[in-house]
Amino acid sequence: EASGNVGEELDYTITGIDAGAGIMSATDEAVETYELSDWDVTASSDAAMTQALADAVENEEPIIVTGWTPHWKFSSFDLKFLEDPEGVYGEAEDIHTFAREGLEEDMPEAYQVLDNFQWSEEDMGEIMMEIQDGTDEVEAARNWIDNNEDTVAEWTDGVEEVDGEEISLVFVAWDSEIASTNMIALVLEDLGYDVSMDPLEANFMFQAVSEGEADAMVAAWLPLTHEHLVEDYGDSMEDLGANLEGARTGLVVPEYMDIDSIEDLQ
């Protein structure tokens, strides 16, 4: 039977990312909801997951990964989300910007830019793809800014320049957040800020902003993926709203696999 074969071929393994990612908790829940107790979800990283995916695709072998859009892997490979009839991974997600309490008073210029920041999946995808093709992260972000001056001008419209004030951004080294954080960091630098960027685990990213150790982050996936982190930390930080709409998470496989639903793993 087809589904049994898939499990055996894959050694009942779903290739995951960093253990702190929301998609990992969602996948644990999927294992429960769909009664996949034979399956293991391995923790690794976005980079290791995409390498495993690339290797599998090259050999047309089966693989199941925890996947999301925006992500360059959908441009590089023919992939599909497995249907999720129980809705464990939720519907469309938005990526939100959060600021520490007091940022608006302390750095009104940066606050305004962060509040105005909004772009599309295609925008983020351009930076991600260029990085994937070998361009340095900062250079890829700079190229996007140079090609999208009008968009950036809307975010910075009426915002005064500053004189080397320090601002700290935190993020997680997911490819999507590497793209967004590098880009907004450069926009702030162009306004005169001295920007630091620290990669952290997801829970420490939220904690840093909620405790005021970091000033802001642009990497909160809602309503579902980071719901537990917003419950823990959201009260002591400020939600500046969505910077990107229509993101999605789930289990992802190459098109050539003949399964279509998470239920096919049972």
- List interacting residues with ligand PBE (CB under 6 A): 17, 21-23, 68, 174, 176, 202, 221, 225, 249
Cβ closer to ligand PBE: 126 or 175?
Answer: 175
- Least Å from the CB of residue 244 to ligand PBE: 10
CA 102 to chain centre: 26
* Alpha-carbon 118 to chain mean position: 15
Closer to ligand PBE by Cβ: residue 6 or 14: 14
Taking the least distance from each CB to ligand PBE, the nearer of 6 and 217 is 217
**What per-residue string of b and e applies to 21-33 under the rule 16 or more CB within 10 Å gives b?**
bbbbbbbeebbee
Closest distance to ligand PBE from the beta carbon of 248 (Å) = 9
Nearer to ligand PBE, 68 or 144 (CB): 68
Residues 156, 161, 162, 164, Cα dihedral to 10°: 90
Query: Tell me, what DSSP letter sits at residue 171?
Result: E
Shortest Å, Cβ 221 to ligand PBE: 4
CA distance 92 to 37: 27
**In the complex with ligand PBE, which residue's Cβ is closer, 111 or 174?**
174
Write down the least CB distance from residue 16 to ligand PBE, Å: 10
Nearest to 237, CA basis, from 257, 217, 256, 262: 217
CB of 157 to ligand PBE, least distance (A): 28
| Tokens standing for residue 44 | 């690794």
